[in-house]
Amino acid sequence: MGVFQRNKCWYLDYYVGARRIREFAGSSKGAALRAYAVRQAEIAQGKFGFVSATCEMSFDAFVAQYLDLVSIHKRGYRNERYVAQTLKKSLGRLRISEITGEDGERFKSARTRVVKPATVNRELTVLKHMFAKAVEWNLVSRNPLRTVRYLRVPGHLERVLSTDEEVRLLHACDSVHSRFLKPIILVATNAGMRRGEILSLEWARVDLTQRTIRVLNAKSDSGDRSIPMNTTVHALLSNLAMKATSHFVFPSHRKPGERLLDLKKGFKKAVKLAGIEDVRFHDLRHTFATRLVQSGVDLITVQHLLGHARITMTARYAHSPNSARIAAVARLDSISTSQSVPNRSPGQILVGVESDAKPMQVSTIGP
């Protein structure tokens, strides 16, 4: 018992009654020793932050409480329910007072062998927030997951579909058993809506007369917006409206009255059939924004259409095409040519010479 070091970090190790506690103390051994002395004094004086008896509830019961009180108010409630089931399989048998940072590390390690790092990080985010609420509700004295670090996620180079790739992708949709895949792709590339915004779109938010789509409860407060329909989207939604049997524009065929939950498999198959590489569904939104900028639309307008809170987010979608960057660099060739020096023999190079008394002079050096 006392202090110990692991991965260049120092931890406290002590007992409170029959309960063993390991606590992160920082990168300094001296600070860890001082913190350990403080804990021992608090325990001896009965001032240690014990929590109420409700902390003895099982993790299963706590998850149910969290879903009912917290997750229910989130846009991602459906996703958090699935994450909760995964967490319960790993930690459900424990009481929340027994869960430690080591349990979090074991969970992270096990999930890394099954899913991608980004998925593991999303699950850790939910778990960390659960225990932040447990601290707020006085169920535990501290968040044991605060020292569990996220995994490094490799960056994804955002793609812009070429016109040919878009045509091939739409054509491939005809060979995929997914009723709404092609319409959803068309809405994404012509309205710039996020996947969740498209799948949860209701007819009450579609005004075919005014040719607008009202997006509510978006990713950010600035995401609530009105998107004008171009001819492609207007014709598509007008056709779907005549056949509508649900208040959702894209309803589930398995669960009447509910929206379509996902289209990952169908989209992935269509991309493969089209012979396109490294394309995610979100790249359709990126394509929408980039095409607008290339057509001369100002960034402020693009920002409003995308529903971004900050213009810096919009700029991320508005990359110059590769051809524009090549042309920009090529301009340096003409500048270099215009600054050439007369009577310079072959093999000589130009060297700029700085002078305090005179402007920059150009001299030549032979081979």
| HSE-up of residue 3 (Cα within 13 Å, Cβ side) | 22
**Cα–Cα distance measured from residue 125 to residue 128, given in angstroms and rounded to the nearest whole number:** 5
Task: State residue 349's pLDDT score.
Answer: 43
DSSP per-residue codes, 51-89: --GGGGSBHHHHHHHHHHHTGGGSTTHHHHHHHHHHHHH
- The three-class DSSP label of residue 159 is coil
CA distances, 322 to each of 90, 158, 216, 246, 332 (Å): 47, 13, 35, 44, 17
Taking the domains of the chain in order of start, what are their residue ranges? 1-50, 59-155, 163-317, 324-365
* DSSP 3-state of 23: strand
- What is the pTM (predicted TM-score) of this model? 0.63
Burial class (CB in 10 A: 0-12, 13-18, 19+), 104: buried
**pLDDT single digits (tens) 287-335:** 999 999 888 899 899 999 998 888 888 887 655 566 666 777 878 887 7
Give domain 59-155's CATH architecture: Orthogonal Bundle (1.10)
Contacts of 175 (CB under 8 A, 6+ apart): 270, 273
Nearest to 208 by CA among 181, 173, 179, 244: 244
Looking at domain 163-317, its CATH class is mainly alpha
Backbone angles phi, psi at 21, to 5 degrees: -125, 135
- pLDDT for the residue numbered 323: 62
What pLDDT is recorded for position 355? 43
Res. 178: pLDDT tops 70: yes
Give residue-wise pLDDT tens across range 202-227: 999 999 999 999 998 666 665 689 99
pLDDT-derived band at 357, boundaries 50, 70, 90: very low
